[in-house]
């Protein structure tokens, strides 16, 4: 099967990933069907081999010289290192041996996992080294000069969020408090990372694993891989080929090219993270006329609306925008967070007490903590997908070709109370942004982050600083939800004004959009004063309707709010069940009518008794209490005057 994806004009290759479940397999040598439990066990043996080799390889090279040599991109002879991690490690001579008989592809997967982990630590090492080299006099509060020094000491930290530097400072401060000295580097500050138990089949070739899509059933794929027949294989004969059928999710297009998956065991089941490449419309950095602005919130998680850039440079809002509210989901998330905090507090208390009985309780609490964490993770994942889908659907409905999202990576909540600060800090903004890019790329919509400065502070129509109040009916009480402009008089919800500012800023600065080299995302890094002055929402021209001036006398109308069912009396009902339905609401499909509804009820179903209360209302009326009264029936209303709707005779 060809791995090259044919592309048409205006298309680009897009790689995504889906999750699939492997239920069973077939041993190709014996033809025996391997059930799910036995297949999971055999794959688990292979996982243990790869996991152990990768862990030893990371522990051997968890130091500054080895990580620097890997991150330099050159070997000892000055040649460029390959992009594949396992090939780069072999060029440097970093090898590992297995305690049992394995083929070379198993070692490749271990080297690939170790190489990725060691490459990723280089960025953390540079940040920690820069913070240690410019350690401030007061770690809790840096001066402007100290901020400039630490940014100069960290490579490429011009646009690094300040929250990352603060978190590293707090981590080093905790180490200093515990050991009474500063750490030498990040390798002393952090232990060697734990590699996940998974098989990176992408590092293998056809001698270890192959995957093929069915030609007759596009939703089926066949994965073939070599697995050990025993936990400690002693010879190559202990490895046999196993064929596993995979059902592809409906999100995988029929023309997509599938790649070797990553296998992992979750909850006792074998999961396959299957990557595939398919054509998608190209996204552009500039040339947008309609953009969707998205603003973050707390209870109102997202506020979004579209704006249009006209040929003369004016920017107008398309509609009043919409809001994505997730108060119910967030309330459940807050409850799970409080439960997790209480469980952690109990675990710490049991750890201080010690003892065999306490150890058993601590193990039970650890299992419950793991379950709560899984629930929180699943809830965050579902919320992120739902919010991202909502934002992309808003862009598609408005005809927008770009989504402008404010960059809040450096936001640190403060000054709003302990509870509000925690809630703001734990919002899944990063997950929502990633999934928004994933879904928007499918329909050719670009996602660009813009600077968040003054998006909620200035008026979207005249850039005048806003006055924030409690609510529109309390204009003198200070608050943060309702915004009033003292300049042009605009007022509205704080988030509604923010998305207008974000959309206008993105459309005005779209020529400053760049693609980040490390993450591949589109971003507007800085603002230009001349462009910012044009990033205002102007009022759309008024549309004049047809002239509706009065040209004659007003037609008289009845005072009745709802018309009667019929304007003329109903004809007499013929004998039998068939015939025209009589006037009123009496059912015609049953005869006789049930008790308590067979008689005509008056305007007052049950009169208020004058004597002592007797609880027999259910027997006297149609299920009502003695003091309950029903609305007048149709037949009790007076007949309408037919001359009321006639015109004037004068």
16-20, 91-95, 113-117, 346-350, range with the lowest pLDDT: 346-350
Q: Residue 537's closest CA among 291, 329, 285?
A: 291
The pLDDT tens digits for 120-164 are: 999 999 999 999 999 998 988 899 999 999 999 998 888 788 888
Same domain, 528 and 507: yes
Other beta carbons within 10 angstroms of residue 631's beta carbon come to 8
Domain count, the chain: 2
Q: Which tokens belong to 83?
A: 């992009």
Query: What is the overall mean pLDDT for the chain?
Result: 82
179 — pLDDT class (breaks 50, 70, 90): very high
pLDDT at position 396 over 80: yes
Same domain, 291 and 190: no
Q: Which tokens belong to 195?
A: 């590699």
d(CA 621, CA 628): 10
- Please tell me the predicted confidence (pLDDT) of residue 571: 56
Report if residue 496 sits inside a domain: yes
Same domain, 304 and 218: no
pLDDT at position 248 over 60: yes
Supply the DSSP string of 69-107, one letter for each residue.
HHHTTB-TTSPBPPSSHHHHHHHHT-----SS---HHHH
E strand or H helix at 187: helix 186-189
- Please tell me the predicted confidence (pLDDT) of residue 200: 93
d(CA 622, CA 620): 7
- 360-373 mean pLDDT: 89
Would you tell me the crossing angle of helices 144-153 and 162-179 to the nearest 10 degrees?
90
- Please tell me the predicted confidence (pLDDT) of residue 350: 85
- Please tell me the predicted confidence (pLDDT) of residue 410: 55
- The Cα-based distances of 422 to 41, 329, 343 in angstroms read 42, 16, 18
Same domain, 287 and 273: no
Would you tell me the crossing angle of helices 429-442 and 356-398 to the nearest 10 degrees?
40
SS3 of residue 47 by DSSP: helix
The pLDDT tens digits for 446-455 are: 999 998 888 8
Find the domain containing 481 and state its range. 283-325+381-534
Q: Which residue has the tokens 């988030």?
A: 495
330 — pLDDT class (breaks 50, 70, 90): confident
Same domain, 165 and 287: no
Same domain, 172 and 292: no
Other beta carbons within 10 angstroms of residue 128's beta carbon come to 24
Q: Residue 275's closest CA among 451, 497, 16, 467?
A: 16
* 8 A C-beta contact, residue 292 and residue 322: no
pLDDT at position 648 over 50: no
Same domain, 272 and 250: yes
Same domain, 162 and 61: yes
5 — pLDDT class (breaks 50, 70, 90): confident
pLDDT at position 70 over 50: yes
Task: Compute the radius of gyration of the chain from its Cα atoms.
Answer: 35
Report if residue 259 sits inside a domain: yes
Same domain, 234 and 288: no
Same domain, 252 and 106: yes
Would you call 146 exposed, middle or buried from its count of C-beta atoms within 10 A (0-12, 13-18, 19+)? middle
pLDDT at position 110 over 90: yes
Would you call 391 exposed, middle or buried from its count of C-beta atoms within 10 A (0-12, 13-18, 19+)? buried
- The CATH number of the domain holding residue 447 is 3.30.420
Same domain, 271 and 321: no
pLDDT at position 87 over 90: yes
Task: Look at residues 534, 556, 579 and tell me which one is the last residue of a structural domain.
Answer: 534
Same domain, 274 and 125: yes
SS3 of residue 30 by DSSP: coil
What secondary structure letter does DSSP report for 200? Answer: E
Buried/exposed 24-63: b ≥16 CB within 10 Å, e otherwise:
bbbbeeeeeebeeeebbebbbbbbebbbbbbbebbeebbe
């Amino acid at each position: 099967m060809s791995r090259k994806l044919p592309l048409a004009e205006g298309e680009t290759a897009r790689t995504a990933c889906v999750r699939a479940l492997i239920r069973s397999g077939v041993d190709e040598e014996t033809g025996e069907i391997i059930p799910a439990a036995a297949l999971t066990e055999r794959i688990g043996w292979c996982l243990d081999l790869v996991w152990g080799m990768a862990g030893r390889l990371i522990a051997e090279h968890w130091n500054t010289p080895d990580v620097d040599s890997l991150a330099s991109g050159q070997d000892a002879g000055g040649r460029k290192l390959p992009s594949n991690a396992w090939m780069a490690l072999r060029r440097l001579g970093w090898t590992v041996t297995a305690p049992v008989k394995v083929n070379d592809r198993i070692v490749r997967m271990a080297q690939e996992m170790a190489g990725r982990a060691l490459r990723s630590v280089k960025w953390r090492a540079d940040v920690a080294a820069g913070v240690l080299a410019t350690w401030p006099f007061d770690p809790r509060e840096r001066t402007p000069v100290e901020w400039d020094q630490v940014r100069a000491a960290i490579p490429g930290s011009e646009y690094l969020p300040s929250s990352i530097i603060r978190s590293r400072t707090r981590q080093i401060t905790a180490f200093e408090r515990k050991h009474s000295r500063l750490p030498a580097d990040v390798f002393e500050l952090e232990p060697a990372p734990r590699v996940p138990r998974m098989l990176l089949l992408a590092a293998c070739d056809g001698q270890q694993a192959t995957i093929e899509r069915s030609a007759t059933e596009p939703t089926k794929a066949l994965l073939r891989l070599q697995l050990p027949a025993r936990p400690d294989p002693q010879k190559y004969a202990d490895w046999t080929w196993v064929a596993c059928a995979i059902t592809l999710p409906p999100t995988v297009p029929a023309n997509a090219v599938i790649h070797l998956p990553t296998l992992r065991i979750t909850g006792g089941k074998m999961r396959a993270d299957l990557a595939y490449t398919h054509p998608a419309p190209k996204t552009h950095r500039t040339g947008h006329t309609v953009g969707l602005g998205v603003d973050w919130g707390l209870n109102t998680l997202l506020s979004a609306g579209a704006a249009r850039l006209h040929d003369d440079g004016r920017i107008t809002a398309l509609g009043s925008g919409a809001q994505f509210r997730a108060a119910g989901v967030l309330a459940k998330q807050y409850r799970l967070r409080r439960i997790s905090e209480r469980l952690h507090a109990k675990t710490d208390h049991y750890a201080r007490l010690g003892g065999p009985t306490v150890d058993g309780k601590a193990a039970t609490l650890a299992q419950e903590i793991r379950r709560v964490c899984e629930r929180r993770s699943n809830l965050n994942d579902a919320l992120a997908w739902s919010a991202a889908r909502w934002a992309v659907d808003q862009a598609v409905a408005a005809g927008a070709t770009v989504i402008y999202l404010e960059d809040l990576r450096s936001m640190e909540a403060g000054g709003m109370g302990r509870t509000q600060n925690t809630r703001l800090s734990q919002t899944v903004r990063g997950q929502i942004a990633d999934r928004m890019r994933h879904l928007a790329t499918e329909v050719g919509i670009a996602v660009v982050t813009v600077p968040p400065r003054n998006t909620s502070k200035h008026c979207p129509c005249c850039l005048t600083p806003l006055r924030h109040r409690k609510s529109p009916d309390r204009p003198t009480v200070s608050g943060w939800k309702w915004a009033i402009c003292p300049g042009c008089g605009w007022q509205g919800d704080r988030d509604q004004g923010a998305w207008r500012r974000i959309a206008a800023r993105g459309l005005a600065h779209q020529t400053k959009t760049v693609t980040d080299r490390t993450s591949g995302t589109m971003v507007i890094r800085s603002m230009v004063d001349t462009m910012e002055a044009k990033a205002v929402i102007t009022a759309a021209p008024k549309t004049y309707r047809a002239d509706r001036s009065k040209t004659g006398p007003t037609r008289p109308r009845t005072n009745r709010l709802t018309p009667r069912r019929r304007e003329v009396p109903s004809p007499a009902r013929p004998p039998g069940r068939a015939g025209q339905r009589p006037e009123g609401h009496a059912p015609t499909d049953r005869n006789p009518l049930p008790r308590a509804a067979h008689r005509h009820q008056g305007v007052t179903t049950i009169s208020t008794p004058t004597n002592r209360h007797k609880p027999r209302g259910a027997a006297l009326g149609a299920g009502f209490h003695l003091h309950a009264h029903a609305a007048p029936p149709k037949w009790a209303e007076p007949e309408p005057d037919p001359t009321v709707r006639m015109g004037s005779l004068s």
